[in-house]
Amino acid sequence: MIENCCICGKKVETIFKLPCIYPDNIGHYTQHIGICESCGLAFTQNPFTAQQLEDRYKNNSKYEYDSDDYYNIDIDEAYAKRCIRQKNFIDSNIDGDYSTILEIGAASGYNLSLYKDKEVLGVEPSKKNCILANKNYNVNMYNGMFSEYINENNCQKYDLIFLSHTLEHIVNPYEFIKQCRSICNKYIFIEVPTIDCQLVDELFAIFSDEHVNYFSLEGLTNMMNSLNFQLISSNIIHHSNVQIQLGYSVMSTLWKKTDENINKSIFIQSSKNLFQYYINSNNNKLPKIQSLINNIDDNEKLAIWGVGNHLAKLLANTDLCKKNIVKFYDSDVHKHSSTVFNKPIASFDESDIFEKRIDSILVATYSAQKTICKILDKHKNNCKIYCLYDL
Ligand SMILES: [Zn+2]
């Protein structure tokens, strides 16, 4: 259990405990969220170990956007749009003032391929992603964790360090940025999910087993300022007008390395209030979801489509696990080696409907609800379909 803030060292208060039931290899887990009242940084106090996360990212990467077997083409497009949006944001602020880029968590290299006139290197734990980056985009990659890269390479400096949806995964973000600073000439770009703009959509969407940090602009600013990075520009992107994978807003930020101490900023809304509001509004959504689940007959042979963080929260916070669940579907083949309640996870199989192995399907995802409902539409006369969200 992490009890102290990585920025200021003060003891943090636990503001929320979120019970979850994951596939059987993880099982029951209660996520403890703590917040530093003076810095405004919120984080998981009992994260999975670095080794568990590392194994997960090396062998089980969800971020292999360009691989042939990747299921959802919409996400490819969303990812490509995101990369272009980020490049526009950077160039609108510092165009011409950087010629080298290091991207940490470079996925399959598409993003760096947009910076053809720069010298680039991607650091990426997934070997498959590195191979794709070389093959598809001729982008130079280092295959490994950033800590391995820093230890092995002593160390070329880059004008711009690029961190897109990386920092929320890092157990000690302060130490991580400190390491980035040591190889940074000028700028750091950071994009992370943000709590500053709250979307009331998927239940507790921002909290997940993969994310360790939950940033507000206050928390991120206090951390960056304490390492002498000055904010150049920030931009909040809403889910409603730019597609991202999950139902939360993100913030793009650009920071300039300085040698001067930066005075602490005062924020009108404290992080603690923002989080409390978010938690309360999600707790208020639970009764509606529970009542939808109550409509499912206890004897009905129910399949669940979508084995992710969202299901883990549903199973632990509603009566869903009391239903007669006979099957779990997920299109991500990486999950097919696991089980939930000793039942296998497999791809959707329409013969389950024709051969009456199931009576109904609960679509247990927000982000993919539309896509899945489209697939299930032709079966709706033979199989009850339950959706949790009005989309
Ligand atoms: Zn602190």
Helix (H) or strand (E) holding 387: strand 384-387
- CA distances in angstroms from 388 to 193, 286, 294, 297, 373, listed in the order given: 23, 11, 12, 16, 11
HEC-encoded secondary structure of 142-171? EECCHHHHHHHCCCCCEEEEEEECCHHHCC
How far, in Å, is the centroid of ligand 1 from the Cα of 40? 7
pLDDT value of residue 240: 58
Q: pTM of the entire structure?
A: 0.88
How far, in Å, is the centroid of ligand 1 from the Cα of 363? 40
How far, in Å, is the centroid of ligand 1 from the Cα of 122? 31
How far, in Å, is the centroid of ligand 1 from the Cα of 93? 29
Of 161, 120, 125, give the one whose Cα is nearest residue 145: 125
pLDDT value of residue 65: 45
How far, in Å, is the centroid of ligand 1 from the Cα of 281? 26
Q: CA 131, 133, 137, 138: dihedral to nearest 10 degrees? A: -60
Of 117, 188, 105, 114, give the one whose Cα is nearest residue 149: 105
CA distance 193 to 231: 17
How far, in Å, is the centroid of ligand 1 from the Cα of 41? 7
CB atoms within 10 A of CB 136: 13
Query: Which domains, and CATH codes, for the chain?
Result: 48-274 (3.40.50.150), 295-387 (3.40.50.720)
How far, in Å, is the centroid of ligand 1 from the Cα of 159? 28
How far, in Å, is the centroid of ligand 1 from the Cα of 6? 7
10-residue averages of pLDDT along the chain (391 residues): 96 96 89 96 89 58 46 62 94 96 94 96 92 93 93 88 94 96 97 86 86 95 97 86 61 96 86 94 94 96 94 96 96 87 95 97 90 94 94 77
pLDDT value of residue 58: 52
CA distance 62 to 331: 12
How far, in Å, is the centroid of ligand 1 from the Cα of 12? 8
pLDDT value of residue 332: 85
Contact 235, 162 (CB under 8 A): no
- Residues shown for the chain: 391
How far, in Å, is the centroid of ligand 1 from the Cα of 196? 18
Contact 185, 159 (CB under 8 A): yes
pLDDT value of residue 66: 43
pLDDT value of residue 73: 40
